Amino acid sequence: MLRPMSEADIADLIRGASQPFWITGQSTRRTGPGVALETTGLSGVTLYEPAALTLVVRAGTPLVEVEALLASEGQRLAFEPPLHGTIGGMVAMNASGPRAVQVGTCRDFVIGARFVDGSGNVIKSGGRVMKNVTGYDLARMMCGAGGTLGVLTEVAFKVLPMPETQMTLRLKTPLQEAPALMSKALGTPWEVSGAAWLNGEVWLRIEGFADQVSYRSTHLAALFPGAHADPKADWSKVRASGLNRITTRPSQAAAVLASLPEGEVILDHGGATILTEHPALPVPESPAVQALKAGLKAKFDPENKLNRAA
Ligand SMILES: Cc1cc2nc3c(=O)[nH]c(=O)nc-3n(C[C@H](O)[C@H](O)[C@H](O)COP(=O)(O)OP(=O)(O)OC[C@H]3O[C@@H](n4cnc5c(N)ncnc54)[C@H](O)[C@@H]3O)c2cc1C
């Protein structure tokens, strides 16, 4: 295993290498062929300006440290990332939790990034404000690329204030009926910030200032007779279930669920994400998407040195 301590070291390693690498953060989830190139040597916050809602952090920094720092200023990463792992692993997987139904995914909050591509070039994209993107947005290209195009070394985020309070409505619902019920809730004007099904119940979350939360949750509850309000519902089980993810359309979730063997299931994102102990099914890609991915790989990693398919 290699554990470089700087971006320059990573660039030197890649430039001089004849063998492929597998990039790892805290190795929570995925490993693959190649020499492990661990990023935890690149750790620490480079810049945090709470008043500007801006955070710049090295890619190997543990997520728990970042969350603790933001919480000390009453702020957070709005997309509800995993509770463990590194910043680089989170961005590489575009890992985003329940609140993505309201605010978007990790990609929507990345405003800049530095990375080393498969030829050992250091690439900088974006910056520290939201409006500065011209040309290709390479920082967002890296979100969800799974380490196939480069080793992230530093990422800049827009962060958001924590809400004053939250309320979760809980309603006993059979699994097969949950996607339709959650879609109905997400279609209301009451700004639902989480729509999940777990342990036989649909959970619908509302966040904001106390008066607003009370008003909005009362109106939402009126649409779902039998729902009870729980101000202390713990969403961490949805956020960090440790289960595999299947992405689908909520309207197709019931059919996908029917095709799965028995086992633990949690639904997130109104049924668009199925968390299951069974291996995720490969998502078919259109020829256009395949061509785009192959083109990016050829451009940023022409010698196929980074995160080869197993
Ligand atoms: C809400 C949520 C959503 C999630 N979504 C997914 C998902 O969609 N798919 C999935 O597989 N896992 C997903 N996970 C699991 C997720 O990968 C881990 O929880 C965590 O983010 C990984 O952190 P890590 O540092 O341990 O990364 P690792 O497990 O070490 O690596 C994860 C992936 O990121 C790459 N990587 C790591 N660091 C870098 C870097 N600096 N530059 C470039 N690439 C890097 C690795 O090569 C690997 O492909 C999710 C978890 C949660 C809780």
Of the residues 1, 28, 155, which should be mutated to test ligand 1's pocket, given the most ligand atoms within 8 Å of the CB?
28
Is it the case that residue 135 has pLDDT exceeding 70? no
Supply φ then ψ for residue 157, to 5 degrees. Answer: -125, 150
Residue 106 has pLDDT above 90, yes or no: yes
Atom nearest to 242 CA in ligand 1: 53
Q: Give me ligand 1 centre to Cα 279, in Å.
A: 16
Asked if residue 61 has its Cβ within 6 Å of ligand 1, the reply is no
Average pLDDT taken over every residue of the chain: 93
pLDDT tens-digit readout, 244-296: 889 899 989 988 888 888 888 999 999 999 999 888 777 778 999 999 999 99
Closest listed residue to residue 193, CA positions, set 153, 160, 147: 160
Closest atom of ligand 1 relative to the 247 alpha carbon:
8
Q: How many other β-carbons are positioned within 10 Å of the β-carbon of residue 221?
A: 19
With a 6 Å cutoff on the Cβ, whether 88 touches ligand 1 is yes
**Spacing, Cα 239 to ligand 1 middle (Å):** 14
* pLDDT above 90: percentage of residues in the chain: 80
What confidence score (pLDDT) does residue 133 get? 56
The reported pLDDT for the residue numbered 128 is 67
Q: Residue 232: pLDDT above 60?
A: yes
- Residue 222 Cα to ligand 1 midpoint, Å, equals 39
CA 310 to chain centre: 23
CB distance 194 to ligand 1 below 6 Å: no
pLDDT band (50, 70, 90) for residue 13: very high
Q: Whose CA is nearest to atom 5 of ligand 1?
A: 95
pLDDT score, position 83: 85
Q: Note the pLDDT of residue 310.
A: 61
Determine the distance separating the centroid of ligand 1 and the alpha carbon of 93, expressed in angstroms.
5
Burial class (CB in 10 A: 0-12, 13-18, 19+), 289: exposed
**Residue 52: pLDDT above 80?**
yes
* Distance between CA atoms of residues 114 and 91, nearest Å: 12
Summarised one tens digit per residue, pLDDT across range 173-217 is 999 999 999 999 999 999 999 999 999 999 999 999 999 999 999
Is residue 4 packed enough to be buried (19+ CB in 10 Å), middle (13-18) or exposed (0-12)? buried
Confidence of residue 243 (pLDDT cuts 50, 70, 90): confident
| Among 57-71, 72-86, 269-283, 296-310, the least confident range | 269-283
Residue 132 pLDDT greater than 60, yes or no: no
pTM: 0.93
Ligand 1 atom with the smallest distance to the CA of 30 is 29
pLDDT at 79 over 80: yes
Decide if pLDDT at 131 tops 80: no
Question: With a 6 A CB cut-off, is 34 part of the ligand 1 pocket?
Answer: no
